[in-house]
A and B are shown apart, each in its own frame.
Chain A
């Protein structure tokens, strides 16, 4: 009989201690961020989809169409298109297609690039109604700013 009441006491006390934890949480500031009304600042190191970097000196990208990113991509989601133009050495970039539906953000393209022409964006709000919305032309994006 005594055992029964001891158990009852211990049990009831444990529940009250637990309730105490919940009650104390009431006095702490809220942790939840009310997205999208509130937004957190994203770390500058965040990996969004890749971008062509704008060179501050030339005002344009640094891509030399060496195709390293295209060849090294494990998901085959990059297609680099370049053409030979009169008066310039090597090829000139005409389109940089990134199929973001396939990209797994491993960053191999950014690492193999010999001219550091690629970087990650901090874009995280990605939603679309069609597959084509995620077929980016990075060159066009760069030119449009």
Chain B
């Protein structure tokens, strides 16, 4: 391969990054056109982890797809399940008791924090800092313990049900969650000392790429990446689902779309999630955690969609029903697919080591892209 660079012809080469590269966080392959250490073109190649999830949703009663939803975005599984359950509830008109909605919000936000903590550790690991992942995993482990106690699983939760949640939370859960909120608040100072002010981190991350709001909207980017450009779009605020409208929280936004700002936005988002959990625990209403639902529940003819704010952006389910229990069509819109699609434009003429950094900032969960 030769490229024209003025009159001089440069010798380039192709490099395969992945599908088994640790910093692609899964089976993503990026085909790189290189010139020395510079990336001329980066082309993501997908399909290594495809599991026909949408087709599976269309070939069994809607109830049978519930465990699958937590296998899409397994880092923020509860939020994914929340979207599917919300969709079925919207279609069938079943309403969950208020207590169940509060429990959903609490567990979802805990899951969001655990997802961001995992991102934080893995992102810094990509940059070559080994220590922070030890701290973040310690914190994340506390969340997994709390969620394990109530959901029964540590990663691929199947906890939400149409009309409520599987198991009620008890005083131990509340006490443990409150203790965790205290703990994580004190840990933010450690992250600040260890990472935010670290000169090596700043030099690696700051002013490498600038994501513009226009570019982000062209690619349909959502979540913390979009918010880092200064667009305050969060489904929890702009189109509140569940009981999110009841809580007082802010949507952190950046200004320049810099990678450092994506980091700061995510860190602030964890703080805001803690605030939501705190308010929800304070105002947790009494009552049943599961509404009575009929055993056979066919979906009424028609279509509906439901969006949730997942840890990485807007997660949408769209379902078309022909009146039976088995959905006619189930479309899943995952945030990571759009977030990844920006890579070729964003990473043109960039150093290979910076590309690894940008890939880390995107916070990709590949099984969510390859559904």
Give the secondary structure class of A's interface.
helix
Please, which residues of chain A bring their CB within 8 A of the CB of B167? 45
Mask of B144-157 contacts with A, CB within 8 angstroms, 1/0: 01001111110010
- A11 and chain B: residue at smallest CB distance: B199
Shortest Cβ-Cβ A-B pairs, 8 listed:
A74-B64, A47-B152, A11-B199, A106-B67, A104-B67, A106-B158, A14-B197, A43-B149
B185 at interface, CB cutoff 8 A: no
CB of B66 within 8 Å of the partner chain:
yes
Distance of A31 Cα from B61 Cα, bound (Å): 44
Interface residues of B in 180-205 (CB under 8 A from A): 190, 193-195, 197-200
- In-complex Cβ contact of A107 among B148, B158, B295 (8 A): B158
Residues of chain A from 3 to 19 with CB closer than 8 A to chain B in the complex: 10-12, 14-15, 17-18
Is chain B's interface secondary structure helix, strand, loop, or mixed overall? helix
B148 with A105: CB separation less than 8 A:
no
Decide if A120 is an interface residue (CB 8 Å cutoff).
yes
Whether the pair A45, B197 counts as a contact (CB closer than 8 A) is no
Taking a contact as CB atoms under 8 Å apart, the answer to whether B200 and A15 are in contact is yes
- For the complex formed, measure the closest distance between the CB of A42 and the CB atoms of chain B, giving whole angstroms: 9
**Are A22 and B63 within 8 A (Cβ)?**
no
Q: A21-B190, A43-B149, A106-B67 are in contact. List 5 more A-B contacts (CB 8 A).
A: A12-B199, A20-B193, A45-B148, A74-B63, A74-B67
**Residue pair A120, B158 in contact (C-beta under 8 Å):** no
Q: Are A105 and B158 in contact (CB under 8 A)?
A: yes
Chain B neighbourhood of A108, CB < 8 A: 63-64, 66
Bound form: Cα–Cα A28–B168 in Å? 35
Residue of B nearest to A44 (CB): B149
Question: What 1/0 mask marks residues of chain B from 41 to 70 whose CB sits below 8 Å from any chain A CB?
Answer: 000000000000000000011011111100
Q: Judging by beta carbons under 8 Å apart, are A104 and B194 in contact? A: no
Q: Which residue of A lies closest to B290 (CB)?
A: A111
Interface footprint category on B: 20 to 34
* B166: Cβ under 8 A from any A Cβ: yes
Task: Answer yes or no: B37 CB below 8 A from chain A CBs.
Answer: no
CA distance A47 to B166 in the complex (A): 12
User: Residue B131 at the A interface, CB < 8 A?
Assistant: yes
Pull 19 A–B residue pairs with CB atoms less than 8 Å apart, ordered by A. A10-B199, A12-B199, A14-B198, A17-B197, A18-B193, A18-B195, A18-B197, A31-B138, A45-B149, A45-B152, A46-B152, A47-B153, A72-B63, A104-B71, A104-B158, A105-B153, A108-B63, A111-B166, A120-B152
Q: Which residues of B contact A31 (CB under 8 A)?
A: 138, 141
Q: Tell me the minimal C-beta distance from A31 to chain B in angstroms.
A: 5
CB distance from B274 to the nearest CB of A (A): 21
Q: Digitize B210-254: 1 where CB-to-A-CB distance is under 8 Å, 0 elsewhere.
A: 000000000000000000000000000000000000000000000
Residue of A nearest to B56 (CB): A74
